[in-house]
């Protein structure tokens, strides 16, 4: 499904990348860049900023630091509004984005804003969705959760890091729809400012189940405090996450990849935009980034520049249609 580049070409590309990046960044002063994570620390957007920022610094793409600034609120809306209104010409700013971003844009949840107001840089992998419960939960399979919802749509309370109607919420609704659960609007979902906050509620036994992405649950999974009932991918993830069953294995056709990537301000210079696009392209091919992907359950998925911009437009339209079909918007 996805193109995998040979190790030899990766190493060659990595070497070339370092030289090209060093030259490309010379157009502006050597200073620290900033990455806005539109949620609290610990979630998927925070992971995207911190992991990419560290890689850019370690591989000498950026001479200074890449500072992560957490800006939670409105499922990414606060960060989007901040970017288009106050930072629209900032060449040294990137903002973490994902399928959750296109979901909110599709549902018109960012009032007066649209995807054309920013420049879409690129993706660095896909983070597949999961449904998980605390270690002491009575639920031991996804099928059991869906059966409970069939009997009573309000029987299971879910927590996620996106706003109501956002991508984390949609994962549950898509899964329930595929499991033939009725009365989808009655399924209970609690929105938190980020995946980490939602996870704390589930691990603490205050909420029944978590809906989010595999990169968000890794720490709690390793500690044994969380039981992942299903990963919403076409097939099982690579080691060390290959013990987690897919929803498909349990008879439920739910697949929910969450791409991880960035946008920059809409009026950022063409030179800076080109630098970010080229740098993300090159970083994606390095052995260092491949290792980060493997350790955090990210699957190959890369688009950039014009191709990524068109992808965002298409996905926004698809999610708009899906949201109408499920009844989230009119």
Distance of alpha carbon 253 from alpha carbon 247, whole angstroms: 7
Is 154's pLDDT higher than 90? yes
Q: Which two tokens stand for residue 249?
A: 């294995």
Entry pTM = 0.75
Q: CATH code for 7-127+258-326?
A: 3.40.190.150
* Residue boundaries of the structural domains of the chain: 7-127+258-326, 128-250
Distance of alpha carbon 56 from alpha carbon 39, whole angstroms: 21
pLDDT at 106: 93
Q: CATH code for 128-250?
A: 3.40.190.10
Domains 7-127+258-326 and 128-250 share a fold: yes
pLDDT at 13: 41
User: Do 158 and 188 meet the contact criterion of CB atoms below 8 Å apart?
Assistant: yes
Is 14's pLDDT higher than 60? no
> Helix (H, G, I), strand (E, B), or coil: what is residue 159?
strand
Is 240's pLDDT higher than 70? yes
């Amino acid at each position: 499904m996805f193109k995998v580049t040979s190790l030899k070409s990766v190493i060659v590309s990595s070497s070339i990348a370092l030289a090209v990046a060093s030259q490309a960044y010379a157009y502006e002063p050597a200073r620290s860049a900033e990455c806005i994570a539109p949620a609290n620390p610990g979630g998927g957007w925070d992971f995207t900023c911190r992991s990419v920022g560290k890689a850019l610094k370690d591989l000498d793409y950026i001479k200074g630091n890449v500072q992560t600034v957490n800006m939670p609120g409105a499922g990414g809306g606060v960060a989007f509004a901040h970017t288009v209104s106050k930072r629209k010409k900032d060449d040294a700013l990137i903002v973490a984005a994902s399928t959750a971003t296109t979901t909110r844009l599709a549902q018109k949840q960012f009032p007066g804003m649209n995807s054309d107001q920013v420049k879409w840089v690129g993706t660095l992998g896909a983070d597949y969705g999961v449904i998980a419960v605390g270690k002491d939960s009575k639920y031991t399979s996804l099928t059991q959760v869906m059966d409970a919802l069939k009997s009573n749509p309000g029987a299971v309370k879910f927590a996620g890091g996106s706003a109501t109607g956002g991508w984390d919420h949609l994962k549950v609704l898509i899964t329930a729809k595929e499991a033939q659960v009725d009365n989808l609007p009655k399924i209970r979902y609690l929105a938190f400012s980020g995946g980490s906050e939602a996870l704390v509620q589930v691990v603490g036994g205050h909420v029944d189940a978590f809906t989010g992405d595999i990169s968000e649950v890794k720490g709690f999974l390793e500690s044994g405090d969380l039981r992942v009932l299903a990963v919403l991918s076409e097939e099982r993830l690579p080691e060390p996450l290959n013990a987690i069953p897919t929803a498909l294995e349990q008879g439920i056709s739910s697949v929910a990849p969450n791409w991880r990537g960035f946008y920059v301000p809409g009026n950022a210079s063409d030179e800076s935009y080109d630098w970010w696009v080229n740098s993300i392209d090159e970083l994606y091919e390095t052995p260092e980034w491949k290792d980060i992907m493997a350790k955090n359950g990210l699957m190959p998925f890369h688009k950039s520049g014009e191709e990524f911009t068109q992808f965002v437009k298409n996905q926004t339209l698809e999610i708009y249609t899906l949201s109408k079909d499920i009844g989230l918007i009119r």
